[in-house]
């Protein structure tokens, strides 16, 4: 069984993003970039399924600038077998629907039984690509996966919902999006990092899949969130209630 894993290059989660002086977007100059944390979980889950003998081949896929090759090499070092980069020009923002259409094109070529993505990317928090891919392909989807197991020609997904956990059984081929508590991604060892340099990485363009990536949305302004005001200490409950009434919240 072949698994297709989608990964994205984003600002490292340890870095505090900076807004450009003109408010046109987030400043990416000289900023550390890394694989989206939810996508790391997706890669790890695919590798674990391969170690169980369920998955036979893992194909890592990314849509982004040329430097996204580094992110794909990380996936290869973790254990993916080969990779596909759909390259776009620097500074080009590819919206979720365009990404989903590209992934659909790759899936039509590769015919994976399982497509695994992170539930969302930490740069835009859209949480759309996995669902859109499932819709475009007409495949069942298991989102926000907390636990994944393959049983014959079906995948069982325990998913996180507001009320706790929900278990769904999906006929393969299917799409799964990973949540934070699914697993703990491994670190790539030095020998595997060296081996990853020789693993196949194909370069494609959106045009190869007939996808128009022209943006449908326009960013008007990006700004820092307002500074949180300092709290107020009160000596007793009566003063607290009075303050709440004064603020109009009680």
Q: What are phi and psi of 181, to 5 degrees?
A: -95, 10
- Identify the pLDDT of residue 92: 83
Q: Provide the residue-wise pLDDT of the chain in tens; the chain has 250 residues.
A: 999 999 999 999 999 888 888 888 888 888 899 999 999 999 999 999 999 999 999 999 999 999 999 999 999 999 999 999 999 998 788 999 999 999 999 999 999 999 999 999 999 899 999 999 999 999 999 999 999 999 999 999 999 999 899 999 999 999 999 999 999 999 999 999 999 999 999 999 999 999 999 988 888 888 888 888 888 888 999 999 998 898 888 6
Q: Which superfamily is assigned to 2-221 in CATH? A: HUPs (3.40.50.620)
Q: What are phi and psi of 141, to 5 degrees?
A: -130, 145
Whole-structure pTM value: 0.87
- Identify the pLDDT of residue 250: 62
Three-state SS at 17: coil
Identify the bridge partners of residue 202 per DSSP, sorted by sequence position. 84
Q: What is the DSSP letter of 190?
A: H
- Identify the pLDDT of residue 52: 95
Beta pairing class for 154-161 and 141-151 = antiparallel
- Identify the pLDDT of residue 148: 96
Contact 103, 6 (CB under 8 A): yes
Nearest to 96 by CA among 8, 207, 204: 8
- 157 CB-near residues (< 8 Å, 6+ apart): 142, 145, 147, 148, 167, 168, 169, 170, 176
- Identify the pLDDT of residue 72: 97
- Identify the pLDDT of residue 56: 96
**Phi-psi group of 222: left, alpha or beta (phi > 0 → left; psi -120 to 50 → alpha; rest → beta):** beta
> How far is it, in rounded angstroms, from Cα 250 to Cα 242?
9
Asked if the peptide bond before residue 173 counts as cis, ω within 30 degrees of 0, the response is: yes
Three-state SS at 62: strand
Tokens 């036979």 correspond to: 56
């Amino acid at each position: 069984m072949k698994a297709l894993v989608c990964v994205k290059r984003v600002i490292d989660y340890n870095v505090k993003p900076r807004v450009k002086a003109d408010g046109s977007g987030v400043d990416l100059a000289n900023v550390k970039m890394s694989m989206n944390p939810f996508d790391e979980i997706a890669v790890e889950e695919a590798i674990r399924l391969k170690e169980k003998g369920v998955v036979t081949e893992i194909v890592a896929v990314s849509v982004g600038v040329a430097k996204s090759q580094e992110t794909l090499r990380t996936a290869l070092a973790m254990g993916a077998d080969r990779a596909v980069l759909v390259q776009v020009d620097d500074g080009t923002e590819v919206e979720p629907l365009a990404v989903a259409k590209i992934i659909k094109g790759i899936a039509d070529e590769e015919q994976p039984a399982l497509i695994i993505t992170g539930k969302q990317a930490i740069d835009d928090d859209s949480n759309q690509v996995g669902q859109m891919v499932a819709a475009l392909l007409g495949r069942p989807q298991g989102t926000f996966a907390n636990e994944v197991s393959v049983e014959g020609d079906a995948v069982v997904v325990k998913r996180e919902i507001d009320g706790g956990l929900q278990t769904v059984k999906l006929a393969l081929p299917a799409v799964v999006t990973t949540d934070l508590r699914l697993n703990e991604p491994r670190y790539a060892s030095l020998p595997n990092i060296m081996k990853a340099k020789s693993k196949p990485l194909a370069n494609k363009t959106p045009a190869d899949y007939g996808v128009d990536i022209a943006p449908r949305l326009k960013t008007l302004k990006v700004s820092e969130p307002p500074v949180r005001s300092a709290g107020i200490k009160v000596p007793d409950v009566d003063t607290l209630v009075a303050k709440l009434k004064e603020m109009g919240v009680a």
